[in-house]
Amino acid sequence: MMTCSMTEKTNDQTARRLPIKGLQKTSLLDFPPHTSAIVFVGGCNFRCPYCHNPELVLASSDAKEIDEEEVIDFLVDRKEWIDAVVVTGGEPTLYPDLKRFIRRLKELKLKVKLDTNGTNPKLMWDMLEEKLLDYIAMDIKAPLELYESHVMMPVDTGNIKKSIALIMNSGIDYEFRTTVLPKMIDKEIFDKMVRLAKGAKRFVIQQYRKEAGVLDEGFLKDAKSFSKEELMDLKKAAEPYFDIVDIRD
């Protein structure tokens, strides 16, 4: 593992602490085959209307946080049963302090999975150089020319391209994934999206589930999900580009 300069350590220590807004104590599904805990980070630079975690996306700085030491103490107490941590959001890479927090997880000999939207390739690069990450899951939201209209925020799509290339050449396990719903993604748009990560190991198609509590219920009031047959058609369309294509309902 690469060592860090004293200046870098000082900067990390003075950066705003990672805003931990939630802790799921056990999961067998989010980082298989590992038994993981999930740390939820507040705040996001996207406003995807179908997001099922609006309380995290819109988390204000004065919203209640879980003390980091409480999380670490829990992981120490459960180290015989938990061997990994998933850090998700919101968007964890908004915070330079993420790197310091993940160092603490690695000191506990835990594997770490990062969920990200790919807008901060520099921080990902730094963490990969330090061998702090064992798995990265990156969401691809749209073809580059439609990114801003899909996430409802300004986006440097150059960073999206850099993150895809970085992850594919990282040497660790990874996946790209996209949530699909007909109101926003048709077959032509989907084809352009999958081409962004052409040659990647794994691509995951996530079904949009119409539930209360999405970020923009008004926008999605009449939104329908793809049928199982339509999802299978998308899977077949994506298979020439990837080693593995999965569907998550």
CATH code (residue 26):
3.20.20.70
Residue 26: which domain range? 6-248
* pLDDT (0 to 100) of residue 7: 38
pLDDT, tens digit (0-9, with 9 covering 90-100), for 21-42: 999 999 999 999 999 999 999 9
Summary mean pLDDT of the chain: 91
* pLDDT (0 to 100) of residue 245: 98
Phi-psi region of 130 (alpha: psi -120 to 50; beta: other; left: phi over 0): alpha
Does position 74 have pLDDT exceeding 90, yes or no? yes
1 domain residue, yes or no: no
Task: Tell me the pLDDT band of 62, cut-offs 50, 70 and 90.
Answer: low
Q: 69: which 2 tokens? A: 């030491």
52 domain residue, yes or no: yes
166 domain residue, yes or no: yes
Task: Tell me the pLDDT band of 209, cut-offs 50, 70 and 90.
Answer: confident
63 domain residue, yes or no: yes
* pLDDT (0 to 100) of residue 163: 98
138 domain residue, yes or no: yes
28 domain residue, yes or no: yes
Query: What is the domain count for the chain?
Result: 1
Check residues 47 and 13 and name the one with the higher pLDDT.
47
Does position 13 have pLDDT exceeding 50, yes or no? no
What pTM was estimated for this model as a whole?
Answer: 0.90
